[in-house]
Structure 1
């Protein structure tokens, strides 16, 4: 399968384009500059110890370390993007932000195998970068370069390990989702299990400062509590959103176009509107489709346009004047259902769609309002 070409999408506010990787935009969030500055300030004392006398240059060295660190985050996210593209998904963008990075992939994994490999390749990449850093550690001379190698090795090993924690929205959560999905055959159960894993992880992160002194021998400060709250909030909100989405998706299989179709009357497009309405009422049809002499559907009568036409004018206008031309996407196979149906409606928003059998004959008309009503029920 050839790689799909990403469709242009509105750039998220507060982001800047850095470049392109494998056809996907690399964006940097404005929040990244905040964390990069914070890293530069926190690293400055260590830089001063390793290389005294740099003056303001110690902050530049700290900023360089932040850039190197986020370069490894970019590798982590790029591995997700490349694996997703290998499976035929469109990758819209890779965004670097203050908590790390995010890869925007269009669509959902179709099998547990796809879910597993798209998720696990990121942490594996971080662990590989960390392992390379450990190897360089022993051959790099003392100084700022060694400090950068040590930091890069430690940060990537930490990121790789933490991302394997089995809870959404972490990569390990998607690995757990894939495992439960494969074991039960139900993707929604997998998402819910991984979502609860994310919530439990968020609770543990929130409690971490209380045990930090016992584990690390260093009492927590204000920054430790703030970071714990920010990270726990991120994990909790991501897990909760994933669980809510899973519950909605679990209801999608009940949406079947064939069962929701309205009885339809097919008429020639030059038939007077009044006669078309009379025939529809007589047949107790809920919609009217215009067809060619060969029976091929070419339009669907717009109910709003029909009601807006005064009864006294209807005998003098053709039914085609109130029919919407069947552009691409407005004609759907009658067997479409579930998530595929919802995606088709989202791709080409309209009030009504003509449902056709495999031989091209008209089966009925699907109203978006009927789909919405069935979904809410």
Structure 2
């Protein structure tokens, strides 16, 4: 089922996950005891104010993400969408030109927004009637936003503070990969601490409240660990991509006509080059790989009657790529073709190798 999206003038699409409602319920449960202690409030009113506070926090999270989106746009990035989820929210944007300094500002704009909301709510609560529901609501809103500010500024991925530190380390150390690895491992450490705090506090809290806090902490810890782990995987993939070359991917190729009889093929030439592949070209331009095992299974007395195409799995027309491509440019061309086979063409136009989609996937996955 697609995630519902809000489209408002001047704003990027806002995707609201159904799990956002779960977040609202969890927050309401956590803050309800703070309203229940007010003598003038009924139980129903305390629950209503708890839900209202949770919704106000969702709005605060949305403003946080909008700050990321607007600062990213100002830096020249393209904002795809904002997502509100069980974990809070995130902003997805793309750009190859954002400087390290701009990345720091984009990362810190969200926590700065929560800090401003928290301070404004704190000022408003000081002007509200003492001991009233309005003062409690504003005070808790301030506390939650200031807590979000502090939490988001933690220096580990995927938190905003971690992203800012990642950019700073990349600029200072001259390596984005090193910066990402450092902040991702810090993020993993923070995940362990986030899980440990409610576990160690269970004995000193009301059981029902402690269990809710533990569940919430476990979900946040899981989010942090997964985000940090995703960053580490992305680094490994990017390093594999940066070092990608034709030499890493291409195998030797021999072009074979589909109607050529097997008896006309010199078996020694099919395996003369280590890892070489026989590429069979059909009359319609489709290509496939000659299967040496299938060739070997054809009796010798029948090889003058069996065409190469009969022992070939065709995959449609092959892609054609230049032997001079490397890195991201090579991967973009391979992805744009979307073919199972790619013929490598040298500057003279000759076929000098073949790349299979399976080999590309294995290379990027580190196999």
The normalised TM-score by structure 2 is: 0.72
Q: Does 1:151 align with 2:151?
A: no
Cα displacement (A) at 1:206: 4.0
Out of 130, 134, 154, the position equivalent to 1:165 is: 154
What pairs with 1:337-376 in structure 2 (closer than 5 Å)?
A: 337-338=326-327, 341-342=330-331, 345=334, 349-356=338-345, 364-375=353-364, 376=366
Out of 51, 62, 67, the position equivalent to 1:74 is: 62
**Is the partner of 2:17 in helix, strand or coil?**
strand
CA distance, structure 1, for counterparts of residue 195 and residue 315 of structure 2: 59
Out of 179, 182, 189, the position equivalent to 2:178 is: 189
CA deviation vs aligned residue, 1:251-308 (integer Å, no higher than 9, x gap): 33332125432345679x9x95559x859997977455879xxxxxx95512269999
Structure 1 stretches lacking a partner, 5+ long: 1-9, 292-297
| Cross-structure match for 1:250 | 239
Q: Does 1:125 align with 2:117?
A: no
What pairs with 1:19-58 in structure 2 (closer than 5 Å)?
A: 19-20=6-7, 22-30=11-19, 32-47=20-35, 52-58=40-46
CA separation of 1:346 and 1:94: change in aligned 2, threshold 3 A: farther
Out of 35, 48, 59, the position equivalent to 2:47 is: 59
Cα displacement (A) at 1:240: 3.4
**Is the partner of 2:339 in helix, strand or coil?**
coil
CA deviation vs aligned residue, 1:53-83 (integer Å, no higher than 9, x gap): 5552332222121111111111212333444
CA distance, structure 2, for counterparts of residue 125 and residue 363 of structure 1: 57
Out of 168, 171, 174, the position equivalent to 1:179 is: 168
**Is the partner of 2:24 in helix, strand or coil?**
helix
Tell me if the contact between 2:100 and 2:168 (Cα under 8 Å) persists in the aligned partners. yes
Tell me if the contact between 1:81 and 1:91 (Cα under 8 Å) persists in the aligned partners. no
| Cross-structure match for 1:294 | none
Q: How many residues align?
A: 347
Report which stretch shifted further, 195-204 or 180-189: 195-204
CA distance, structure 2, for counterparts of residue 254 and residue 273 of structure 1: 38
Tell me if the contact between 1:209 and 1:220 (Cα under 8 Å) persists in the aligned partners. no
CA deviation vs aligned residue, 1:95-119 (integer Å, no higher than 9, x gap): 321x322334568887534543442
| Cross-structure match for 2:4 | 17
**Is the partner of 1:158 in helix, strand or coil?**
helix
CA separation of 1:351 and 1:76: change in aligned 2, threshold 3 A: same
Cα displacement (A) at 1:123: 1.4
The normalised TM-score by structure 1 is: 0.70
Out of 283, 301, 314, the position equivalent to 2:287 is: 301
CA distance, structure 2, for counterparts of residue 323 and residue 206 of structure 1: 50
Out of 296, 316, 320, the position equivalent to 1:324 is: 316
CA distance, structure 2, for counterparts of residue 20 and residue 281 of structure 1: 64
**Is the partner of 1:324 in helix, strand or coil?**
coil
CA separation of 1:358 and 1:69: change in aligned 2, threshold 3 A: farther
**Is the partner of 2:155 in helix, strand or coil?**
coil
**Is the partner of 1:325 in helix, strand or coil?**
coil
CA deviation vs aligned residue, 1:148-190 (integer Å, no higher than 9, x gap): 3333222222211221110122111111211221122222211
CA distance, structure 2, for counterparts of residue 140 and residue 356 of structure 1: 75
CA distance, structure 1, for counterparts of residue 167 and residue 229 of structure 2: 18
